[in-house]
A and B are shown apart, each in its own frame.
Chain A
Amino acid sequence: NAGVTQTPKFRILKIGQSMTLQCTQDMNHNYMYWYRQDPGMGLKLIYYSVGAGITDKGEVPNGYNVSRSTTEDFPLRLELAAPSQTSVYFCASSQQENQPQHFGDGTRLSIL
């Protein structure tokens, strides 16, 4: 009963490095989302996908890229990491757009 799985759980990057945050779900959900959550702030949508092969920008897409080659996987790529990208990143999925989103445990990322 895995649900949404994110790896890694923690990561420290140096400025200018790149990395990929992994997200996979085993619920056969069509919709997948990437959010970031900064202390004391609401979740901000980075990118989302309505199905394999389709991705769209959210509210804060700059500095990130995504792909959705399969229904299960929705990796988030950070190129040229910047201190402003220090945050907690959550991946979520839902069966339809107006149904509850199920969240992974998050990735805590620090850029130093």
Chain B
Amino acid sequence: GQNIDQPTEMTATEGAIVQINCTYQTSGFNGLFWYQQHAGEAPTFLSYNVLDGLEEKGRFSSFLSRSKGYSYLLLKELQMKDSASYLCAPMDSNYQLIWGAGTKLIIKP
């Protein structure tokens, strides 16, 4: 079957760094997306990895290891506005996204 495993909830301090892990099993693989979703809002695109390694985009970085079925999202210099859910979504062989329930990140002052 296809499944995603992410922590349900994480807490971090403003200004700190947090790493959100995601492990996945899919039928085939065509890349992995990370989305941010604030409460009551729509998901918004953060990053896309299709090859192994680290992709850096400002305060956010995403890492992929295809052989391990593993990805992480790294958030630096945390701000209060980063309080949101972070959704890991690998793409299977049919180019369909498999969505996890997401990790709710709580930022404390």
* A residues in contact (CB < 8 Å) with B: 35, 40-45, 48, 58, 90, 97-98, 100-106
* B residues in contact (CB < 8 Å) with A: 4, 30-31, 33, 41-45, 48, 50, 87, 89, 91, 95-102
- Compute how far the CA of A40 lies from the CA of B6 in the bound complex, rounded to whole angstroms: 12
**A100 and B45 form a contact (CB under 8 A):** yes
Given known A42-B101, A98-B95, contact A105–B41 (CB-CB < 8 A): yes
Q: Which of B41, B42, B87, B95 contacts A42 (CB 8 A)?
A: B87
**A101 and B42 form a contact (CB under 8 A):** no
Q: Looking at the assembled complex, report how far the CB atom of A30 sits from the nearest CB atom of chain B, in whole angstroms.
A: 12
In the complex, the chain A residue whose C-beta lies closest to that of B2 is A59
**A97 and B95 form a contact (CB under 8 A):** yes
**B43 and A103 form a contact (CB under 8 A):** yes
Q: What are 20 pairs between A and B in contact, CB < 8 Å?
A: A35-B99, A41-B101, A42-B4, A42-B98, A42-B101, A43-B89, A43-B99, A45-B96, A58-B96, A90-B43, A98-B91, A98-B95, A100-B33, A100-B45, A100-B48, A101-B97, A102-B45, A103-B44, A106-B41, A106-B42
- Compute how far the CA of A97 lies from the CA of B94 in the bound complex, rounded to whole angstroms: 9
- Compute how far the CA of A44 lies from the CA of B2 in the bound complex, rounded to whole angstroms: 13
Please indicate the chain A residues that have their CB under 8 angstroms from the CB of B31 in the complex.
Answer: 98
**B4 and A105 form a contact (CB under 8 A):** no
In the complex, the chain B residue whose C-beta lies closest to that of A105 is B42
In the complex, the chain B residue whose C-beta lies closest to that of A3 is B42
**B99 and A42 form a contact (CB under 8 A):** yes
Please indicate the chain B residues that have their CB under 8 angstroms from the CB of A42 in the complex.
Answer: 4, 87, 98-102
What are the 10 tightest A-B residue pairs by CB atom distance, in nearest-first order? A42-B99, A97-B95, A103-B42, A100-B45, A43-B99, A42-B101, A42-B100, A103-B43, A105-B42, A106-B42
Q: Looking at the assembled complex, report how far the CB atom of A104 sits from the nearest CB atom of chain B, in whole angstroms.
A: 6
Please indicate the chain B residues that have their CB under 8 angstroms from the CB of A98 in the complex.
Answer: 30-31, 50, 91, 95
In the complex, the chain B residue whose C-beta lies closest to that of A40 is B101
Please indicate the chain B residues that have their CB under 8 angstroms from the CB of A45 in the complex.
Answer: 96-97
B30, B87, B96, B100, most chain A CB atoms within 10 A = B96
